[in-house]
Chain A
């Protein structure tokens, strides 16, 4: 059962209390009053009872020592993660299993094998953050509540031993109490009086700063955790060619699907001749980018749009997207992230008779949707037998394609003419035109059209307001706790003498200035500092 300790002043304190909440008398032997004052000598709940496993876990996380260790471990782990680039920062098309070893040697291999290439997303790092959160919650509950009670129940009159053991203390006689009270009030202390004794305090709210900022941190961590819950977060990338519309991933709902049209992608460079940047620009080899911009139009389909079906689009709005200036709609934002200039779009060829150089018509191949057959009239036609958008010779020396992007297009054409009704085959690529050697006709390159692409990050983040709230509360708490101080001064009449003592949790310098001012203005003996106090 809950035991209580009744102090000689009559106040009953919870079990484990070291200084009486009301008068400050030490309730146990060997109590170091000053260091106990950190939490007003109140019983830290966790240290009181040690019974169940739950209590043991609780006690473990309640310790500031454990909290500091967690901070230090997270700190070291975070630092290790910066030794080599994380997986997200290595080139996208390399295999991390070989990349770390080839780039950074054996150390890189070890780094990879230990999983440090994905350190911040690893289960143990998240677990550490979770444990830190737990430590913050438990340690704050365990200290904040008793401290609140202790500060609320404190009395004006303090025990002699409590007074004597304060870092700043003096005894005087013949002092005008009203004068002291008046002076303290002029220093904006809140003064209470009881049986001719005084208690002055200032900035008590700063004692709550630590707890407020911990609440902020917990809210912040909660927000960070919610990131992983379905529906809270969208992170995707959208590539759109100039002049084309594309559906925006993650924006599909029963109300319809959003589409985005890329009207124009703009890349601007700084003018090397510009006077003010002249010397800086002439010292770099390439050009320096001034602006990346996409001019876009947002559309939405009708309700209940079926994916893949021809969309019936209604214009929503137009806008410009620049780095630092995202484009927002609903709860989404689009960010300028990347671009690709001059991607091949259409290629033109002419059918040419080798011997005469005569040309028999021109065909234009849409590299994203080539036709099977191009009829040039008069019995001339060209068939595409094979198409390799990104041509490469594979391991077996066969023509193939790296991927579906038309970065290095190549074709196998069949050319038909009245003279060659059987057709002649030729392999045509960029700066390549190969046939059996007996062909009468060939495909002559006749121009290319290109398009720019823009890449936009699609983002929805419903956790932002929680993160922001946590950040704001943290800043309020940390300011409150560090820019203000809780200062207390006690004056006690004691058998003809007047005892004065003062305490603060930090900034002794400020408190000393206050008590100096007090003793200057009144007859109070200057408060003296105990030498050993700070050691």
Chain B
């Protein structure tokens, strides 16, 4: 009787500690995941004016998959992935996937030149005050967040994306 009690007490205590330490290590490895918008969270709504002066609100895209990209004209990896994004956008926009390429705190003049150069046809919301950037806890750019048709985040990455990767992302959030 006593022996059994002891076994369970000890096992339970060890298990609790292993879980606690394991969880701590897991969280410390993915420091971003704890504090900011990450996989599984509902993507917070935002409203920004795009380059053409149109109001873009995230909630309006419910029911569609949203490829939310944060970028800047001066960032080389961002520049590299733009043509891929444009090409895949043309393929997937009719299948219910939208790209929102949020520009991080730049001027209309610079961004307009860039958009013209790469013939980008998806909306480019201008986050001049970095409000959305801060709320989403964006560190390095480019950062891409995939949002499914229910408004849930299914992926977050700060990698520079290959075209293949973009295709797989598009497939993932296609409604």
Chain A residues close to B by CB (< 8 Å): 1-2, 49, 52, 54-55, 57-58, 121, 123, 126-127, 130, 133-134, 137-138, 225, 228-230, 233-236, 246-247, 249-250, 252, 306-309, 368-370, 372, 384-390, 400-404
Give the distance in Å from the alpha carbon of A401 to the alpha carbon of B114 in the complex: 12
B129 touches A246 (CB 8 A): yes
Whole-angstrom distance between the alpha carbons of A410 and B44 in the complex? 36
CA distance A368 to B126 in the complex (A): 12
Q: Are A369's CB and B132's CB within 8 A?
A: no
In the complex, the chain A residue whose C-beta lies closest to that of B74 is: A401
Bitwise interface map of B from 17 to 39 toward A, beta carbon under 8 Å scored 1, else 0? 10011011101110000110000
- How far does the alpha carbon of A49 sit from the alpha carbon of B72 in the complex, in Å? 65
A326→B87 CA distance, assembly (Å): 50
Kindly list chain B residues whose C-beta atoms are within 8 Å of the C-beta of A58.
10, 14
B168 near A: Cβ within 8 Å?
no
Residues of chain A within 8 A of B28, CB atoms compared: 121, 123, 126, 228
B24, A306: Cβ atoms closer than 8 Å: no
The secondary-structure label for the interface of chain A is mixed
Contacts of A138 in B (CB 8 A): 13
| Nearest A-chain residue to B105, judged by Cβ | A404
20 cross-chain CB contacts under 8 A? A1-B3, A2-B3, A126-B24, A130-B20, A225-B20, A228-B27, A229-B27, A229-B34, A230-B34, A247-B135, A307-B131, A308-B46, A308-B47, A308-B127, A309-B47, A368-B107, A368-B128, A370-B108, A401-B110, A404-B72
Instruction: Say yes or no for B45: interface residue by CB 8 A criterion.
Output: yes
With CB as the reference atom, state the residue of chain B lying closest to A225. Answer: B24
Inter-subunit contact A126/B21 (CB<8 Å)? yes
- Nearest CB in chain B: distance from A131 CB, A: 8
The 7 closest A-B pairs by CB, nearest first: A130-B21, A228-B27, A307-B46, A249-B134, A308-B46, A308-B48, A387-B109
On whether the beta carbons of B107 and A387 are closer than 8 Å, the reply is yes
A73-B35 Cα distance, complex, nearest whole Å: 31
Which residues of A have CB within 8 Å of B137?
249
Chain B residues contacting A121 (CB-CB under 8 Å) are 28
Residue of A nearest to B129 (CB): A246
Tell me which of A2, A137, A234, A250 contacts B2 (CB under 8 A): A2
Question: Nearest chain B CB to A184's CB is how many angstroms away?
Answer: 40
B52 contacts the other chain (CB 8 A): no
Q: State in angstroms the CA–CA spacing of A230 and B35 once bound together.
A: 6
Residue of B nearest to A392 (CB): B74
Q: Which residue of A lies closest to B30 (CB)?
A: A228
The distance in angstroms between the C-alpha atoms of A137 and B16, with both chains bound, is: 12
Among the listed B21, B109, B113, B127, which residue makes an inter-chain contact with A127, where contact means beta carbons less than 8 Å apart? B21
Cβ–Cβ < 8 Å partners of B129 in chain A: 246-247, 308
Known contacts A137-B13, A252-B135, A308-B47: A369-B107 contact under CB 8 Å: yes
In the complex, given contacts A57-B14, A386-B113, A400-B74, what are 12 additional A-B residue pairs having Cβ atoms less than 8 angstroms apart? A54-B11, A126-B25, A138-B13, A228-B27, A229-B27, A229-B34, A249-B134, A306-B46, A308-B47, A368-B128, A404-B74, A404-B106
B159 contacts the other chain (CB 8 A): no
Q: B57 interface residue, CB < 8 Å from A?
A: yes
> Does B86 reach chain A (CB closer than 8 Å)?
no
Distance to closest chain B CB from A71 (angstroms) = 17
The verdict on A386 contacting B14 (CB below 8 Å), with A306-B45, A308-B46 known, is no
* Interface residues as binary, B88-107 with A (CB distance below 8 Å gives 1, 0 otherwise): 00000000000000001111
| Shortest Cβ distance from A130 into B: residue | B21
B109 touches A137 (CB 8 A): no
What A residues does B57 contact at CB under 8 A?
A: 306
| B73 interface residue per 8 A CB criterion | yes
User: Which listed residue (A369, A385, A386, A403) contacts B74, Cβ 8 A?
Assistant: A403
- Closest chain B residue, CB of each to CB of A129: B21
A54, B34: Cα distance in complex, Å = 32
CB distance from B156 to the nearest CB of A (A): 15
CB-based contact A369/B45 at 8 Å: no
Shortest C-beta distance, A129 to chain B (Å), equals 8
